[in-house]
Each structure stands twice: as C-alpha cells, then as structure tokens.
Amino acid sequence: MFKTNEGAADCEIRSVIRFLNARNVLPSVIHHQICQVYGDNVMSDGMVRKCIRMFNEGRENVHDEARSGRPSLLNDDLVRKVNERVRDDRRFTISDLPCTFLTFQGLYSMTLSVVANIAGGHIL
C-alpha cells in the first residue's frame, strides 16, 4: 500500500506526470498512480491527459503559467489600514466594513479575510 500525500502542490503532480510520460506510461496508469499517492480527488483523468498533451507539444515548465485577469485587490496598504482601524476602535464591527473600506464591490470578502487574520482566524 502507498502512503497518501494529500495537499501536494500542482507543480509536484505535474512533475510526476512529466516523468511518467517520459517513461511512456499510459495516461490512465499515470492517473491511477497519482490518485494512489495523492488522493482520489487530486486531478481528473482529463486533466492528466491535458498535461500529457502539453508536455508532448513541447512544454517543459511544470509551474503555473501567469494568467491575465483581475489583479488582486488585497495589498499591504489595505491590511495596514484594517489593522489600524481594528486596533484603534475595539467597537469596530464587521458591519462597519462597507462604510469604512469599500470603494467598489468585491472588496468586502477580502477585508473580512484581513480582519479574520488579524483576529487570529476568529471573528469576534
């Protein structure tokens, strides 16, 4: 029996796929083997085949490629402001977040995450 290694990084799994593919192991066998080691829900058979296809087409990098998309709104300045606000006013509540920090939609959940982190994972 294999020791299960759940929570592995995607690049680690892609490295295993690249290695086994170089050894001419069948995609279904590769999928079966990574599921044995990394858990059943680590990657679908279709994703394994997609990775193999990309490696066969010449991809060598196992790390995630940079993606275009919306840039992260969470930055050190926001963390500092939330931290100052929470520490300055102990009566500051979660319902005060929209009035204090929101300039556009979508920032609420990130600000809530910052507050939870400051509170040690527990929102009081």
pLDDT tens for 55-75 read: 999 998 898 877 777 766 667
Based on the structure, what is the number of domains in the chain?
2
Per-residue pLDDT at 124: 46
15-40 confidence digits (pLDDT tens):
999 999 999 999 999 999 999 998 88
Q: Is residue 3 part of a domain?
A: no
Which structural domain range is residue 94 located in? 76-118
Q: At what angle do helices 10-22 and 27-38 cross, to 10 degrees?
A: 140
% of the chain at pLDDT higher than 90: 32
Q: Do both 19 and 49 map to the same domain?
A: yes
pLDDT band at 83 (very low <50, low <70, confident <90, very high): confident
* CA pair distance 40, 114, nearest whole angstrom: 33
- Neighbouring C-beta atoms of residue 54, cutoff 10 Å: 16
Q: Is residue 32 part of a domain?
A: yes
Q: Do both 17 and 46 map to the same domain?
A: yes
Contact 92, 85 (CB under 8 A): yes
Structure tokens at 102: 């929101």
Q: Is residue 90 pLDDT above 90, yes or no? A: no
Per-residue pLDDT at 52: 95
97-124 confidence digits (pLDDT tens):
666 665 544 555 666 666 666 666 554 4
